[in-house]
Amino acid sequence: MAARAYWQGQIRLALVSIPVQVFPATKSAARISFNQIHKPSGKRIRYQKVVPGVGEAAPEDIVKGYEVEKGKYVLVTEDEIDDVKLEAKKTLDLIQFVDAGEVELLYIDKPYYVSPEDDETAGEAYVVLRDALEATGKVGIGHIVARGHSNLVALRPSGKGLMIETLRYADEVHKPDAYYAEVPDAKPDKELLSLAEELIERKAKPFDPKAFSDPYEAALRELIDAKIENRPPESIDEPQIGAKVIDLMEALKKSVGGKRTTTTKKAAASAKKPATKKAPASKSSSGKASTAKKGGTRGRRAA
């Protein structure tokens, strides 16, 4: 494979060990980057490392420091940092299994492909683990140590193979309560909800990542190309920003527009119409039925 392995080792499940390699599933896009230029001369601005009151610092005199209080640092050398780095552990122990839906997107950091080593036994065990996870709807949780850091990971089936996702630890995630404090507790109006559902259904289609591109990057590229070619840049359609919603019902009706589907019409109608109670049987009809029943019984006995 052309890509360099992020991690190489074995997945261990009880007494079963599967030798694997882990590769990044994503790559950095070719983004436009800018340099700072001195406008009068057209030359690039360089940065120097300068010590206040001393002058420029030589590379060999620069060490890492941790600030313990304002202006006071504990100095640490590269050798000291290397001594405390975690060893490159070569085993991913699956210590727990959880339902796939339990791992919230909030905790997922980066995805990686897991490839079995070129070994018949490894391939068979790999496929068994993949299918077992698929059948149970579970993901495996464990740790791997890569590049001096310990990562919490989730192992899950993905198409023909397996993938791991590095996970954020709990202390790396903000609690949502403060951000959702202004969300109303009341249930939305049923007709408003049916209109919103109709709008979503109309715009629903299978996800195709190739259908999307970065409009900001395209606009920057056009600006740069226009400057190189000494021409005005082509106009770029800006997204329309809607006015502040005053009447949500009216705004949703306008957004849906045209004829609504039969399903949504029924949902809206049932939301407006209260449930009807079944009328009790009248006394006269009830009495007749009772008399007929008794008469029928007497008739059978007489016979």
Instruction: Give residue-wise pLDDT tens across range 218-228.
Output: 888 888 888 89
Distance CA 201, CA 260 (A): 11
Residues 107 and 208 grouped into a single domain: no
Q: Is 29 left (phi over 0), alpha (psi -120 to 50) or beta?
A: beta
Lowest pLDDT segment from 159-173, 201-215, 231-245, 284-298: 284-298
Burial of 50 (0-12, 13-18, 19+ CB in 10 A): exposed
Residue 215: inside a domain: yes
Co-location of 165 and 196 in the same domain:
no
Spatial contact of 35 and 118, defined as CB atoms under 8 Å apart:
no
Q: What are phi and psi of 124, to 5 degrees?
A: -65, -45
Other Cβ atoms within 10 Å of 18 Cβ, number: 24
Whether the CB-CB separation of 142 and 153 falls below 8 Å is answered with yes
Same domain, 92 and 149: yes
pLDDT per residue as tens digits for the range 59-99: 889 999 999 999 899 999 888 887 777 766 889 989 999 99
Domain with residue 145: its CATH number is: 2.40.290.10
Q: Per-residue pLDDT tens for 189-232?
A: 888 888 888 888 888 889 888 888 878 888 888 888 888 999 88
Mean pLDDT of 5-14: 90
Task: Find out whether 129 and 11 touch, Cβ atoms under 8 Å.
Answer: yes
Confidence tier at 300 by pLDDT (50, 70, 90): very low
Distance between CA atoms of residues 9 and 234, nearest Å: 52
Residue 160 and residue 202 in one domain = no
| Between residues 284 and 123, the one the model is more confident about | 123
Check residue 258 and give its pLDDT.
55
163 and 19 share one domain: yes
Predicted confidence (pLDDT) per residue in 262-283, tens digit: 555 555 555 555 555 555 554 4
Between vectors from CA 235 to CA 233 and to CA 241, what angle results, nearest 5°? 140
Q: How many CB atoms lie within 10 A of CB 181?
A: 7
What pLDDT is stored for residue 1 in this prediction? 47
Could you list the residue range(s) of the whole structural domain that residue 120 is in?
7-26+86-171
Taking 60 as the threshold, does the pLDDT of residue 179 lie above it?
yes
Tell me: do 196 and 262 sit in the same domain: yes
- 74 in a structural domain: no
Domain count, the chain: 2
In 3-state terms, what secondary structure has residue 222? Answer: helix
DSSP string, 58-80: PGGG--EEEEEETTEEEEE-HHH
- The SS3 call for residue 238 is coil
Residue 144 placed within a domain: yes
The pLDDT of residue 161 is above 90: yes
- Sorting pLDDT into bands at 50, 70 and 90, what band is 236? low
In a domain, 37, yes or no: no
Q: Quick one: pLDDT band at residue 294, thresholds 50, 70, 90?
A: very low
Question: What's the gap between Cα 42 and its chain centre?
Answer: 44
Residues 204 and 232 in one domain: yes
Judgement on whether residues 96 and 199 belong to the same structural domain of the protein: no
Report pLDDT digits (tens) over 12-66: 988 888 999 999 999 887 788 899 999 999 999 988 899 999 999 998 899 999 9
Q: Is residue 301 part of a domain?
A: no
Identify whether residues 111 and 139 lie together within a single domain: yes
Whether 97 and 164 map to the same domain: the answer is yes
Please report which confidence band the pLDDT of residue 241 belongs to, taking 50, 70 and 90 as the band edges.
low
Predicted local distance difference test score (pLDDT) of residue 84: 78
pLDDT at residue 114 is higher than 60: yes
Helix (H) or strand (E) holding 264: helix 262-272
Q: Judge whether 184 lies within some domain.
A: no
Q: Measured between alpha carbons, how far is 190 from 194 in angstroms, rounded to an integer?
A: 6
Q: How far, in whole angstroms, is CA 77 from its chain's centroid?
A: 39
CA dist 211 → 206, 207, 208, 233, 237 (Å)? 11, 8, 6, 24, 18
| Cα–Cα distance, 116 to 119 (Å, whole number) | 8
The reply to whether 62 falls in a domain is: no
Task: Tell me how far apart the alpha carbons of residues 128 and 134 are, in angstroms, rounded to a whole number.
Answer: 10
By DSSP bridging, strand 91-93 and strand 7-13 are parallel
Instruction: Answer yes or no: do 154 and 96 share one domain.
Output: yes
Given a contact cutoff of 8 angstroms between Cβ atoms, the answer to whether 144 and 90 are in contact is no
Which pLDDT value is given to residue 4? 84
| 13 and 143 fall within a common domain | yes
Q: Pick the last residue of a domain from 171, 199, 219.
A: 171
Is there a domain that residue 126 lies in? yes
